Each structure stands twice: as structure tokens, then as C-alpha cells.
Amino acid sequence: MDYRGVWILAEQSSGRVQRISYELLTRGRELAERRNTELTAVIFGHEINQDDLQELIERGADLVLAMEAPILKHFLPEPYAACLFHLIGGYKPEIVIAGATSTGRTLMPYVAIRANAGLTADCTVLDIEEETGNLLQTRPAIGGNIMATIKTPKHRPQMATVRPRSTKPAPRQPGRKGQIIRLEAPDELLGSRVKRVGFVPNPDVHGLAEADVIVAVGRGIKKKENIPLIQKLVDALDGALGATRDVVDRGWLSYPHQIGLSGKTVTPKLYIGVGVSGSIQHLAGMQTSEIIVAINIDPESQIFRVANLSIVGNLFEIVPVLTEKLLQIRSEKRVSET
């Protein structure tokens, strides 16, 4: 049997489909159209919301395979892997992509080994090679200094993970038609040596992933003592403070602020890079921002290549003026509203 079709691994929490699923549909739809094939969303859980499954169809899936059992309500590596391997064996998809979430990063390598398949992690670009139909999987390598394009010509399925928030969710198309198949997971697939005993969320006080406005600092700020200057701009914008890896490695800000391949991937409406040079590692974490503003004294900075607005100049002169103007506008707005 030939391998055919593109699959995305949708995720759920408490029976509700998560945002990463819709981002993967954007990626999957493009690949399916290039291969002239069907796009399938595979999801595991228990009592998954029917309207959410329909939304997967409306956002681009042609088929939804929902495999359910009480033990699948929360992610456990062994039953999830057994179920996914079982479905791969039955349907033989050509391509399987998942989010580089805790679920995807745990599950996909496990299944790839069992399926004797190739897997590329943390891809920033997925494409199809015209001549062969192979999946082209591009990701930064060598510490983010080069972009490597990887392909798996001899093994199927071709498997990859992509960073959350590295692309926009697929738009909803009400009335779009597709098929939803709810499957009862076979008992023999549900054994697990791991038991879930509880869950303690990790509160992210910085809110980078959900922030509409982010001001990120690079080593161009010169020293830790200059962080308060940038924080005033962040506060004036009601934004979140981000950082490059250099800034975190130097101890100027803590790791939860880090944006890039080894930190968070963000998609704010407005990103302002202050003293950020624009390494590949950092750009991979923020280049899908809606509007990118860059402030740097070096006109050759890499970040200017992706910026919508480039400001070449001394950040220590520009940021205070910008902050003052923003605070003035906010004050005038409050006055006009009273």
C-alpha cells in the first residue's frame, strides 16, 4: 500500500481542542495542496467536544480521526504512542507533523523510532520538493548559525515538529464539509507504566506567548543597569519584556524572557527590538510578528531585513523620547475620556 496523505497531530486539554492544532492546520493545508492529497487531523482524548472537532474541519481538515478512552484524557507517552502507531499502520500517511510542545516533543520521537521513520524537530519552514514530492524540513542548526534543510527520501511517514506560534492559526470557514470519525481505542493499546498523579501549572508571569506588544532587548543595551530604561517603554505600551539569548546568558534577564529557538516563539501584534542584532536563532522566534520595529545603531543589523520599520540610531537617545511621547499620548487620551 502506498503512503498518502498529510496528518497533523491535534491536541486537546479537558476535551477542548488547543490553539496549536489550528496552527498545524495552516502548515498541513499548504502541504496537502502541494501534494494534491487529503489533510487529516488526528486527536487523542476522552469525550472530546464535538463542536471543536467540527471546527477542525472548518479550519482545513478533510478528515478528523478522534481516538478516545478514559486513559487518553491526559497525555501519557505509551498509550498515545501505541494509538498513533496503530493508526499510522492502518492508514499509512505520507507526512505527519506535530507541534514542538511537551506532547509533540515526547510523542513524535517515540513513534518515529517504532515506525522506522525520519523525524526533524523544531522546523521553521516546511515545503515540498517539486521533483520528488519529498518533505523539505528546514530548521536552524549549529547554534542557529545556519539553516539546514533535511529530507527523508527512503522512509515513510516523513515526520516533523514545528514550534508553537511560529505560524498563524488557520482561518475558520463556516460550512466547510469534512468527515469526523470517532474511534474507541482498543484495550491492548492502553497499557502504561506511567501514571498521572497530578498537575501543577507553571505560572508565566511574563506572558510573552500571549502578549500583543513585546519589547525585546539585545546586547546593544550594553549592561544590566540599562534594563529599567527599556522597562519604562514596556510599561508605556502595556507590553511584555523579552530578550535575546545573549542577554539571558549574560544574566541581565532571566530565562522566561528569552525569545528564540532555545526560548519562546512569539507572534505579537507589535514587536519592538531594542539593540537586537537579529541572529537566526532569535529571528526564528519572532519573525511572524504582525509589525516589527527595530532600533539599532548598526545599519547592517540582520533584524532590519525583517523589520517593517527600521530606526538607525542610538537607542539611549531614541527610547526615552519614544517613551515620553507614548506617555503623553496616553495622558491626553485619559483626559479626553473624562
- Average pLDDT over every residue of 214-237: 94
Q: Is the pLDDT of residue 206 over 60?
A: no
The percentage of residues in the chain with a pLDDT greater than 70, rounded to a whole number, is 96
Give mean pLDDT, residues 182-203: 88
Fold of the domain built from segment(s) 213-337:
Rossmann fold (3.40.50)
- What pLDDT shows up at residue 203? 60
Domain 6-189, architecture per CATH = 3-Layer(aba) Sandwich (3.40)
Q: What is the pLDDT of residue 56?
A: 97
Q: pLDDT value at position 207?
A: 75
Q: In the predicted model, is pLDDT for residue 175 greater than 80?
A: yes
Check for a shared fold between 6-189 and 213-337.
Answer: yes
Residue 317 pLDDT: 94
Banded pLDDT at 204 (limits 50, 70, 90): low
243-299 pLDDT, tens digit each: 999 999 999 999 889 998 778 888 899 999 999 999 888 988 888 899 999 999 999
Q: What is the pTM of this model?
A: 0.76
Domain ranges of the chain: 6-189, 213-337
pLDDT classification of 210: cutoffs 50, 70, 90: confident
Tens digits of residue pLDDT in 110-119? 999 999 998 9
- What pLDDT is stored for residue 141 in this prediction? 75
What band does 143 get if pLDDT is binned at 50, 70 and 90?
A: low
Q: 195: Cβ–Cβ under 8 A, 6 or more apart, which residues?
A: none
